[in-house]
């Protein structure tokens, strides 16, 4: 795969190309809620790539060159490799960002560290099977979402409440770990904040790790017998440095209040903007059995397809970075460019959950990188998918939530998820 990337024709974005991109993005911002910045960016990249009869795109800024992959097969090939040996490792930008909070996190681990941490994360998060704590997890989700949400802030708050119980087994009344980890990840994702203001967040970071360490010690002393991920992690710890293992936890926490919240919110909005899809989902929820039971949630196949389709259309994580070992060039996977490529067929911009229920995935579904793929796939994908299904079934199937947005009622859909301009509301259906 390394030689394939090196031999592929590459387009080069010059100063004039970059200025054109700035004009496109500026025009999109001026359009306000109907602007589509992701579409402007992907159209620009595809135009430059096609103009130069290339496969990928080099974008140079002072001191750094980014190689934007324009072919999903090549992107899949990079993601299919383990970050071990002389192949591809976590990108420098990704590593610097995550190191602010958790330098030992799996997402930036390479070599032997990755080989030890990957099975540990899979065991704790229950990769590939129903989680051993699924009953307790479902109880926490249903409790957190027991009332109709009114906005994305409500969804985030409910996911935070569920997360505190699922990951930590609760928290002291004077602690707010959901807010702390969200704030810290905001710094992780902002190079400017890290560079200029990072020192201001050290106290919050220390407070979070103090809480995690106390929870870890309580689990080892068998003082915390409630089923939760951190206690399971402490009791499953391999021969790896204790602090490195604890550094896995913030990423688990943020999946709930970050990408998990975005995926759930977008599913609630998109499904309730489509009467046909909402009707099918409600019928499925009614026939699945008692939704307070994990087996019933497991039977919600159409709802799961809706979540996967929402993530294909509007991925909550839009990019990831890798690099060849000992090279500074950053390899960028920009998922809207790869997943909304018109060459994937006429339905690439269409909300069609049924594509996920077919015996073979069609081209748009096969191009989805919602949870990445191969050995780099998100180890918590089954857990967060279960959480999103349980919350969506509660809100749409039982509480009658409506979150219709006009821009999402018809195809083709925009590439950017539009800003939510109205709060959600219950339909009055019970």
**What is the pLDDT, as a whole number, of residue 425?**
81
Contact predicate 97/189, CB 8 Å:
yes
Alpha helices by DSSP H, 288-426: 294-298, 301-313, 335-339, 363-366, 381-392
Which of 311, 324, 296, 304 has its CA nearest to residue 265? 311
Mean pLDDT of 375-397: 96
Predicted confidence (pLDDT) per residue in 120-168, tens digit = 999 999 999 999 999 999 999 999 999 999 999 999 999 999 999 999 9
Confidence tier at 429 by pLDDT (50, 70, 90): low
Which of 237, 239, 230 has its CA nearest to residue 212? 230
| Region of residue 85 (phi > 0: left; psi between -120 and 50: alpha; otherwise: beta) | left
Radius of gyration of the chain (CA): 22
Right CATH number for 117-315+378-426 from 3.40.190.180, 1.10.630.10, 3.90.1580.10, 3.40.50.720? 1.10.630.10
Q: How far apart are alpha carbons 72 and 236 in whole angstroms?
A: 37
Which of 122, 94, 126 has its CA nearest to residue 109? 94
**What is the pLDDT, as a whole number, of residue 100?**
96
**What is the pLDDT, as a whole number, of residue 430?**
45
Query: What is the pTM for the complete model shown?
Result: 0.94
Distance set, CA 212 to CA 7, 369, 416 (Å): 47, 31, 36
- Whether 3 has a pLDDT exceeding 80, the answer reads no
Task: State the CB neighbour count (10 A cutoff) for residue 378.
Answer: 22
Quick check: bond before 292 cis, omega within 30?
A: no
- Whether 428 has a pLDDT exceeding 60, the answer reads no
For residue 11, the cross-strand partners are 57
The sign of the dihedral angle between the CA atoms of 93, 99, 101, 106 is positive
Residue 373 φ then ψ, to 5°? -165, 165
> How is the chain split into domains, by residue range?
117-315+378-426
Q: How far apart are alpha carbons 349 and 430 in whole angstroms?
A: 33
β-strand 88-90 against 319-324: which pairing, if any?
antiparallel
The label of the residue with tokens 């039971």 reads 293
Predicted confidence (pLDDT) per residue in 257-295, tens digit = 999 999 999 999 999 999 999 999 999 999 999 999 999
Predicted confidence (pLDDT) per residue in 196-234, tens digit = 999 999 999 999 999 999 999 999 888 767 899 999 999
**What is the pLDDT, as a whole number, of residue 416?**
95
Q: How far apart are alpha carbons 260 and 252 in whole angstroms?
A: 10
Predicted confidence (pLDDT) per residue in 60-116, tens digit = 877 788 999 998 888 988 888 889 877 789 999 999 999 999 999 999 999 999 999
Q: E strands of 133-245, at which residues? A: none
Predicted confidence (pLDDT) per residue in 240-258, tens digit = 789 999 999 999 999 999 9
């Amino acid at each position: 795969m390394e030689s394939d990337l090196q031999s592929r024709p590459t387009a080069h974005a010059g100063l004039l190309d970059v200025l054109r991109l700035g004009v496109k993005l500026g025009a999109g911002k001026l359009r306000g809620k109907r602007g589509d910045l992701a579409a402007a960016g992907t159209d620009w990249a595809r135009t430059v790539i096609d103009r130069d009869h290339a496969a990928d795109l080099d974008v140079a800024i002072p001191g750094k060159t980014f190689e934007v992959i324009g072919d999903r097969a090549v992107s899949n090939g990079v993601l299919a490799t383990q970050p071990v040996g002389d192949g591809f490792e976590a990108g420098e930008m990704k590593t610097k960002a995550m190191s602010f909070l958790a330098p030992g996190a799996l997402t930036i681990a390479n070599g032997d560290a990755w080989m030890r941490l990957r099975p540990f994360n899979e065991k704790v998060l229950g990769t590939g099977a129903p989680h051993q704590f699924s009953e307790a997890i479902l109880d926490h989700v249903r409790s957190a979402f027991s009332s109709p949400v009114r906005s994305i802030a409500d969804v985030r708050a409910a996911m935070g409440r569920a997360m505190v119980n699922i990951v930590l087994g609760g928290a002291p009344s004077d602690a707010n770990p959901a807010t702390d980890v969200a704030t810290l990840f905001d710094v992780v994702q902002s190079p400017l904040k890290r560079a200029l203001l990072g020192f201001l967040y050290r106290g919050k970071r220390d407070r979070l790790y103090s809480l995690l360490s106390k929870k870890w010690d309580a689990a080892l002393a068998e003082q915390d017998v409630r089923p939760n991920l951190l206690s399971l992690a402490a009791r499953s710890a391999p021969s790896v440095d204790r602090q490195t293992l604890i550094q896995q936890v913030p990423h688990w926490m943020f999946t709930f209040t970050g990408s998990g919240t975005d995926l759930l919110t977008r599913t609630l909005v998109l499904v309730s903007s489509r009467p046909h899809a909402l009707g099918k989902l409600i019928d499925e929820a009614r026939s699945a059995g008692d939704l307070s039971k994990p087996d019933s949630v497991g039977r919600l196949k159409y709802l799961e397809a809706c979540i996967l389709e929402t993530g294909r259309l509007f991925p909550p994580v839009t990019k990831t970075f890798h690099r060849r070992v000992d090279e500074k060039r950053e390899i960028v996977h920009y998922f809207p460019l790869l997943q909304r490529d018109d060459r994937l067929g006429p339905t690439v911009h269409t909300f069609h959950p049924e594509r996920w229920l077919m015996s073979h995935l069609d081209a748009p579904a096969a191009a989805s990188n919602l949870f990445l793929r191969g050995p780099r796939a998100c180890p918590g994908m089954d857990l967060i998918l279960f959480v999103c299904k349980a919350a969506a079934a509660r809100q749409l199937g039982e509480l009658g939530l409506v979150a219709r947005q006009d821009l999402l009622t018809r195809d083709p859909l925009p590439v950017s998820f539009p800003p939510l301009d109205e709060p959600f509301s219950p339909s009055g259906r019970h």
